[in-house]
Structure 1
Amino acid sequence: MRLSATDIQASLAALRDRFLVRAREEVLYLSQQAEKMRRVGLTEAELSEAYSLLHRLAGSAGTFGLADLGEAARSLEKSLKPYLEDDEQGGCAGSVREALEPMFVSGVMALSELLRDQQTPAAPLDQPSADAGIVSQGMQVRVLVCQEQARVSRDLVDGLALYGFQCIQVSVASSSLERWIKESSRVASVCVVDDEQLEQVAAECRRLGVTGRQLPLLCLSRDDSFEKRYWAAATGAEGFFAEPLDFPRLADSVERLVSERKQPASGRVLMVEDDPDLAEHYRLVLESAGVVVRLVQSFRNLIGELADFRPDIVLMDVQLEGMSGITLARLIRFEPRWLSLPIVYLSSEDDPENQLAAMSEGADEFLVKPVSDGYLVRSVLLRCRRARQLSELMNRDSLTGLFKHALIKQQAQMELANCRRLGHSSSVAMIDLDHFKQVNDTWGHGCGDKVIKALSNLLKNRLRETDVIGRYGGEEFLVVLPGCDAGQARRVIEDIGRSFAELSFFGTNDESFSVTLSAGVASLNDFTHGDEALEAADQALYQQKRAGRNGVTVFSPQQGAGQEEP
């Protein structure tokens, strides 16, 4: 259960108080070690322990509002480092002790002074802010049509409605324009506006503080000149369409703009950190910004945690208790599946050369502790977004943005497992464009791509968010419909087929044409393996092709492929 903002702030405040208690205990221990050094000296192991403690203080104190303490600990840590790097020195004795003792004693005294009157952290906790994007209601996409000509406006609404968009006609002169613009921050929205009203709508958006991310503006114009396009871009438009309107391209732009903006900022982070208070602080801060965080409790289980959690990125300290983060990063890269996983070091190491040396062993980025809460959130969200973009590039079809062949087959198998575990009924549908070779031969492959993209957009906007869609190959699509029996699936796909047949595509010389689709449906529950269900849906599809195309056939195990349910 996600904590409320009040609960998160209370938890963070408790962590700060706990850290202050721990910091006093650690500085007291350092004071005792300084006294011991003055009397008899410290062994190499004792000096190394003091160095590790200072390293941890340097990295964590600033996060809890004790920046001065963190800087003082960092300075003393750097002073100790040369004595630890020389293997021939052994313990801290003789001339080495004489050189180190004044610096170490005075440094620890400075730490004690900084903590003496400290009741609460000197600096308040950052209030991290994240661009949460647009919160959409399911797959609903709202298109505001600001077009004063009634006939053109009606054609726009009717044309875009075929793709499953909720279209609303809004007059620029109407008082309701302000209300619809304000609501764009709540519902995924795009505004299609005539060039004569573009300046007025853009000015109203600016007045209300609504950004282009929240409400992209698409400009319609009868003038297709460079000057008009440049003016539209300068005015704030995200797209430009000249008459006669290419509805598939317009719908594609609406879908693309919304998909870029409607997803809330989020991510999945696996955190490898040996300071439990600091790890908990990072977790609370990131989760307050919508990030899912898992803390690795045992470093020995790191690979298992990766496989189970499947993070977008790994945040890992360089110096861990008993282990090296650099070595763990190299260990992660042993597995080919994790070669592309971003690993971000979190460390108080601020030497650029040492940072590069650490990253050369398998990591991608370096964040220097202490890192402010706001900067941590922005850095993590940015890296998670980039990681998801790369994942999308590898796992999704470049033309349609749908799952590739292998992944959509995996989704069918996973849904079959869900059916067995949860006891519900689900279906798969194989969809194919009719006479698609004729489209390519007559109008060209570029036009064929527009038809494929139009169907993918229609499927994405007419199906539920829980439904999974993939491009099975060429002009063939596969849809997995959880909780939907074969009869329901047939009616859903038939409705989509009717809408698709009403779409108009334009070839050379503005000649228009339409395309129909055929589909086969099979119930996942009737099969022991997902591949068997896909084969059945494919058989039903070809039965529909033989029956005349432009329709949906349901596979029946009792009666054979091609027999629809009564």
Structure 2
Amino acid sequence: MSVNDVQASLVALRSKFSGRAREEILFLSRQAEKMSEGKLTGAELSEAYHVLHRLAGSAGTFGLPDLGEAARVLEKSLKPHVERLAATGVADDAIAPVEPLFLRGIEGLFGLVTDQPASVPDSQNKTVEGVDDDSHGTQVRILVCHQSADVRLSLVQGLARYGFQCLEVSLTSPDLAGVIAESSRVASVFVVGEQQLEGVASECRSQNVGGRQLPVLCLAGHDSFEKRYWAAEAGAEGFFSEPLDFPRLADSIERLVSERRYRLSGRVLIVEDDSDLAEHYRLVLESSGVEVRLVSDTRHLMQDLAEFQPDIVLMDVNLAGRSGITLARLIRFEPRWLSLPIIYLSSEDDPESQLVAMSEGADEFLSKPITDDYLVRSVLHRCHRARQLSELMNRDSLTGLLKHALVKQQVHKELASCRRLGYRSCVAMVDLDHFKQVNDTWGHGCGDRVIKALANLLKNRLRETDVIGRYGGEEFVVVLPGCDVGQAQSVIEGIGRSFSELLFFGNDEDSFSVTLSAGIAALNDFSDGDVALEAADQALYQRKSAGRNGVSVYTVPE
């Protein structure tokens, strides 16, 4: 069997497992409902326990480690009940409800199942898998560690509305180190009580591999300078006191996850004529999560830049038949690359010569030989800084979403992809209802928190392939590749329901909620992206006229 055949078989098996897993989670959800009503028998509880055990053991093999870990935690929560039932022999009798965190955990399993193949070309990723799930992106995992069951439940319920997946852990758990190690490989944040802070922070430091230490947020009973200083000294990266401000907490989590993702990734173009050395750099950097493209023939340098869109360029000063200094000056001919960081790699160690070389268009100098560790840390740091600068130029400062002009470009780009590859996509215009009233009543600062809350919810509930931009004020644009209008409507309606459940607090601690309206248009029905946006805007206007708080779909006139 060829490599392609093996890959195709693995993809088919994974898809089959995902379908089976959904059926088993639906079964668990029905059992959880019966459990909450006190109607679940001991035999049914045991069956649910064995389903969780099976998911925990097999999900990781099929590329769903998050599902396996979540199922394992739930399995362990049921184990004492199952053992007690086995000892008492009351299998046919109804049992008392299990604690609420278990019920919430079952609901969270749905967002951990995906049909996405492990290795499929980008052009084939424009599919509709997952559009019927509650979560459409890489879910952020929140590890909750707190001594109060009420606080734990409040965190699970409150953060779930933002699309976060919560996992309860304990300092005394023998699996704590394994959970931290596993969570370090995905988007994760620890939210802990002040009693658990030092222990959790210490364990996270001990599990720090390659800069992948989990960020920790501290929840304290009261606020003071001394308490904050102690939390910062213990290793916390955020501090919150009771009562919890969930919009602010969710925004802090989103910021930490985004920053950590940027710190641990990047796109690097290496211009190096020593093929063995270039390959060594590539292997070292790619093993650390960095995307790399090698350029050996400098005649294709500008084409590679345009195609790869790197965060930084690593370039030898002395290349076969070429000068790195001249190439750096050539790159700067094009205005689009004026801000691109160019870093020289050279054995030149004379400070004066290095300074002269940098004055000709480069930004920094790394002297050869360079250790693998220093290379990785240097590249990750510079990629992070480059992306921060890019964010300032291309992203809305309040929400971190694409700016008006850039999201419009993405609409045109997606329409072109639809035509070229033959799949369907949608564009949606989303607007906050009665937002002027929010600003007039609670102030513009509170209005900004509402806007940021919606932006964070969109980022956490949509897929990585979806495009989100702030169109202006309280209006957003969402591009949904691989979705027809029915699927897109279901997705946006689900987000609208979740957003309406969020509570915001004014200066006087009075709470309020906000709803949203949206209009959706099928990109494929239009010959131009601007016309599709206008159609989505017309559908939004229809929704506003019909009473707001909902989603309308644009209908092409006969």
TM-score (structure 1 length as normaliser): 0.70
Partner of 1:105: none
Aligned partner letter, 2:409: Q
Which of structures 1 and 2 has the bigger CA Rg? 1
1:291–1:210: structure 2 CA closer, same or farther, 3 Å change rule? closer
CA contact (8 A) 1:319 1:325 kept: yes
CA contact (8 A) 1:343 1:364 kept: yes
Corresponding residue SS for 1:308:
helix
Partner of 1:225: 224
1:327–1:189: structure 2 CA closer, same or farther, 3 Å change rule? closer
Corresponding residue SS for 1:196:
helix
1:180 is displaced (CA, Å) by: 3.6
Partner of 1:216: 215
Aligned partner letter, 1:143: I
Partner of 1:388: 387
CA contact (8 A) 1:189 1:214 kept: no
Distance 1:381 1:306 in 2: 19
Corresponding residue SS for 2:264:
coil
Distance 2:151 2:294 in 1: 56
Partner of 2:480: 481
1:250 is displaced (CA, Å) by: 0.8
1:322 is displaced (CA, Å) by: 3.2
Distance 2:292 2:201 in 1: 39
Corresponding residue SS for 2:502:
coil
Corresponding residue SS for 2:520:
strand
1:371 is displaced (CA, Å) by: 2.9
CA contact (8 A) 2:141 2:166 kept: yes
CA contact (8 A) 2:137 2:461 kept: no
Aligned partner letter, 1:418: S
Aligned partner letter, 1:333: R
1:274–1:554: structure 2 CA closer, same or farther, 3 Å change rule? same
Partner of 1:509: 508
1:264–1:390: structure 2 CA closer, same or farther, 3 Å change rule? closer
CA contact (8 A) 2:137 2:460 kept: no
Deviates more, 1:517-526 or 1:257-266: 257-266
Distance 1:236 1:368 in 2: 34
Partner of 2:252: 253
Partner of 1:15: none
1:372 is displaced (CA, Å) by: 3.3
Aligned partner letter, 2:270: M
1:282–1:347: structure 2 CA closer, same or farther, 3 Å change rule? same
1:268–1:148: structure 2 CA closer, same or farther, 3 Å change rule? closer
CA contact (8 A) 2:332 2:361 kept: yes
Aligned partner letter, 2:377: R
Distance 2:205 2:320 in 1: 52
- Which string of whole-angstrom CA distances, capped at 9 and with x for unpartnered residues, describes residues 205-251 of structure 1? 45666899533222222211212222222222221111111110011
1:309 is displaced (CA, Å) by: 2.5
Deviates more, 1:212-221 or 1:251-260: 212-221
1:179 is displaced (CA, Å) by: 5.0
CA contact (8 A) 1:181 1:210 kept: no
Q: Is the aligned partner of 1:300 residue 2:299?
A: yes
Partner of 1:58: none
Partner of 2:117: none
Distance 2:174 2:346 in 1: 55
CA contact (8 A) 2:177 2:203 kept: yes
Partner of 1:345: 344
1:331–1:171: structure 2 CA closer, same or farther, 3 Å change rule? closer
Distance 2:542 2:527 in 1: 23
Partner of 2:428: 429
Deviates more, 1:162-171 or 1:258-267: 258-267
1:495–1:378: structure 2 CA closer, same or farther, 3 Å change rule? same
CA contact (8 A) 2:185 2:212 kept: no
Q: Is the aligned partner of 1:465 residue 2:464?
A: yes
1:151–1:212: structure 2 CA closer, same or farther, 3 Å change rule? farther
Residue correspondences, number: 424
Aligned partner letter, 2:468: I
Corresponding residue SS for 1:370:
coil
Distance 1:298 1:245 in 2: 57
1:419–1:332: structure 2 CA closer, same or farther, 3 Å change rule? same
Aligned partner letter, 2:508: N
Distance 1:169 1:309 in 2: 40
Aligned partner letter, 1:366: F
Aligned partner letter, 2:548: R
Q: Is the aligned partner of 1:491 residue 2:501?
A: no
CA contact (8 A) 2:263 2:384 kept: no
Partner of 1:316: 315
Corresponding residue SS for 1:220:
strand
Partner of 1:442: 441
- Which string of whole-angstrom CA distances, capped at 9 and with x for unpartnered residues, describes residues 14-73 of structure 1? xxxxxxxxxxxxxxxxxxxxxxxxxxxxxxxxxxxxxxxxxxxxxxxxxxxxxxxxxxxx
Q: Is the aligned partner of 1:397 residue 2:404?
A: no
- Which string of whole-angstrom CA distances, capped at 9 and with x for unpartnered residues, describes residues 167-214 of structure 1? 233455555655543432233222222223333433454566689953
Unmatched segments (≥5 aa) in structure 1: 1-136, 560-566
Q: Is the aligned partner of 1:549 residue 2:554?
A: no
Q: Is the aligned partner of 1:336 residue 2:335?
A: yes
CA contact (8 A) 1:273 1:317 kept: yes
CA contact (8 A) 1:427 1:481 kept: yes
Corresponding residue SS for 1:465:
coil
Distance 1:397 1:252 in 2: 15
Aligned partner letter, 2:509: D
1:468 is displaced (CA, Å) by: 1.1
Partner of 2:499: 500
Corresponding residue SS for 1:384:
helix
CA contact (8 A) 1:184 1:214 kept: no
Distance 1:504 1:441 in 2: 18
CA contact (8 A) 1:145 1:192 kept: yes
1:354-365 to structure 2, matched below 5 A, reads 354-365=353-364
1:287–1:526: structure 2 CA closer, same or farther, 3 Å change rule? same
Aligned partner letter, 2:293: R
1:294–1:434: structure 2 CA closer, same or farther, 3 Å change rule? same
CA contact (8 A) 1:188 1:214 kept: no
1:156–1:293: structure 2 CA closer, same or farther, 3 Å change rule? closer
Distance 2:243 2:309 in 1: 47
- Which string of whole-angstrom CA distances, capped at 9 and with x for unpartnered residues, describes residues 328-352 of structure 1? 2212211111111111122222221
Partner of 1:48: none
Computed over aligned residues only, the root mean square deviation of the Cα atoms, in angstroms, reads: 2.4
Distance 2:224 2:283 in 1: 53
Unmatched segments (≥5 aa) in structure 2: 1-135
Distance 1:364 1:435 in 2: 48
Corresponding residue SS for 2:508:
helix
1:402–1:194: structure 2 CA closer, same or farther, 3 Å change rule? same
Aligned partner letter, 1:420: R
Partner of 1:452: 451
Aligned partner letter, 1:417: A
- Which string of whole-angstrom CA distances, capped at 9 and with x for unpartnered residues, describes residues 130-181 of structure 1? xxxxxxx952112222233333322221111100111233455555655543
1:374 is displaced (CA, Å) by: 3.4
Distance 2:320 2:168 in 1: 63
Distance 1:231 1:278 in 2: 47
Aligned partner letter, 1:365: E
Partner of 1:165: 164
CA contact (8 A) 2:262 2:387 kept: no
Deviates more, 1:406-415 or 1:514-523: 406-415
Aligned partner letter, 2:404: H
Distance 1:287 1:183 in 2: 20
- Which string of whole-angstrom CA distances, capped at 9 and with x for unpartnered residues, describes residues 412-450 of structure 1? 111111211221111111000011111111111111110
1:211–1:541: structure 2 CA closer, same or farther, 3 Å change rule? same
Q: Is the aligned partner of 1:267 residue 2:266?
A: yes
1:488–1:286: structure 2 CA closer, same or farther, 3 Å change rule? same
TM-score (structure 2 length as normaliser): 0.71
1:258–1:278: structure 2 CA closer, same or farther, 3 Å change rule? closer
1:481 is displaced (CA, Å) by: 0.6
Distance 2:204 2:292 in 1: 36
Q: Is the aligned partner of 1:536 residue 2:535?
A: yes
